[in-house]
Amino acid sequence: MNQKVKNTVTLLICVILLTALDQATKYLAVLHLSPEKGGSDLILWKGVFRLQYLENRGAAFGIFQGQKAILAITTVIVFLFLCWLFFHLPLEQRFSPLRWLIIFLLAGAVGNFIDRMRLGYVVDFFYFELIHFPIFNVADIYVTCSVILLVLLFLFYYKEEDFNRIWPGKRKEEA
């Protein structure tokens, strides 16, 4: 099996499994935490962390409330860009961390996209009440951690010559 095929299979399997994990946790949150199903908050560490059901009709931190079309279009554009980037990365080991972060970003995007299209909102349920952090879900964890790690990689691991190899158009402009 050549490397491109192996990367594609890895991408598909991982995105499907990570999305399934996200959807399973959201299903459990609806089943056990939703007031409509007779559920209530589950305090895991009093005053610090709880599971609390929330229907988020916006994006991160509640922005774009009720803007389902904008969020759907943005998600599709980001999804397509990430797929393009994944398949245009050099096949070297040096770019493996970037490939894995793209997989997690894709899974997070797909997980929340499924909720938005199916329910009209995203199911959130993790709440750090100690710092009053916005309620979030597993897909949000994928996206947030991946973005933080991407920033760190771009600041401390990848160099200018790596960027030139990621963005083929940039090489043509400089020539």
pLDDT at residue 64 in the model:
72
Q: What is the DSSP letter of 134?
A: P
Catalytic residue (choose from 22, 41, 140, 162): 140
Alpha-carbon Rg for the chain, nearest whole angstrom, is 19
140 an active-site residue?
yes
115 an active-site residue?
no
| Ranges in the chain, pLDDT < 70 | 60-62, 168-175
Dump strand ranges (E) for the chain: 42-45, 49-56, 122-128
Mean pLDDT score of the chain, rounded to an integer? Answer: 91
The full set of domain ranges for the chain reads 3-174
Catalytic residue (choose from 22, 41, 115, 124): 124
